[in-house]
Amino acid sequence: MAPGQLKKLQDDPSVKYIEEDRIISLGLPDIEAKKGKPGGGGTTSPAQQTPWGISRVNGITNYTGTKKAWVVDSGVDLDHPDLNVNTSLSRSFIIGGKTTTPDDENGHGSHVAGTIAAKNNSIGVIGVAPGAQVVSCRVLDRRGSGSFSWTVAALDYIATDGVGTAGDVVNMSLGPSSRYIDSSVDAAVQAVAAKGIKLSIAAGNESDDCFYYSPAHNNGPNIYTVSAMWESDRFATEFSNFGSPVDYAAPGVYILSTYKNGGYETLHGTSMAAPHVAGILLLGNVSTDGHVTSDPDGNPDPIAVH
């Protein structure tokens, strides 16, 4: 934007504020792991197993409600045999690229969706709320990169089409890779929450205080920020953000879930922790079962369970 255009907009009484758009990314932590793809990226269907995180948060056998999980991410594999995707509501909010489909070209969003709601069938994995509808709100490209403005557009869409009274839930496993507060995305998060729609937000993977990051630092009714833990209930000090905005800890290391192209993958991060809480929210209120150990802020996060 030219300087003259900026000044004109700043002087326009209908404009509340202007801020520079920023890049957001996935920033998955670099933990040594055997990253398997059971099923060979979708060529075969592995026998179903229950990931440790689903057991830890007390996932159920089958979900029969009508609540939807809106996945603001890299998209969702629209025809994955282990996911119940609402394709009619799914949208892409990526601007300026060649891709307009809400289908997942990265894998991250499909992984998130599977943790929330992978079906209880004979293949792959099972989610916290098995078989619940997931809606793809794509704001990240195939490299896992996007912008705050695309995220704002997705949240505006959800605020209009999501149904708080029906118990819809939003998962946001994304954010900036360094400290940054974005007023626009924060306002969009608060607007969705004000509609009665619950949001589960990843705390971030910078081993830092999430107070300095949007959208993780948001607080208020219907907003839940989630840190990550190991299977031993130890806080994932290797990467997980911490701090006063965090509401719960959830499994975030060695998490097996669905992936792009009908496949399955093991990933780590607060990106993997947040969808556990999103699934719990589809089932009702969040309960707790103990606290994590080794929390860097000295105030151990309660462990979220159904």
- Across the chain, how many H-helices and E-strands are there? 6, 14
Rounded distance between C-alpha atoms, residue 36 and residue 175, angstroms: 26
Rounded distance between C-alpha atoms, residue 51 and residue 127, angstroms: 8
Q: Which residue has the tokens 């004979």?
A: 122
Residue ranges in the chain assigned as alpha helix (H): 3-10, 52-56, 108-117, 148-161, 183-194, 270-283
Q: Which residues contact 278 (CB under 8 A, 6 or more apart)?
A: 69, 116, 128, 169, 170, 171, 200
C-alpha triplet 130, 146, 153: angle, nearest 5°:
75
Rounded distance between C-alpha atoms, residue 169 and residue 166, angstroms: 9
Rounded distance between C-alpha atoms, residue 165 and residue 300, angstroms: 32
Catalytic residues: 73, 108, 271
Name 175's bridge partners: 25
Angle between helices 270-283 and 108-117 (to 10 degrees): 30
3-state percent helix, strand, coil for the chain, nearest multiple of 5: 25, 25, 55
Q: Are 274 and 289 in contact (CB under 8 A)?
A: no
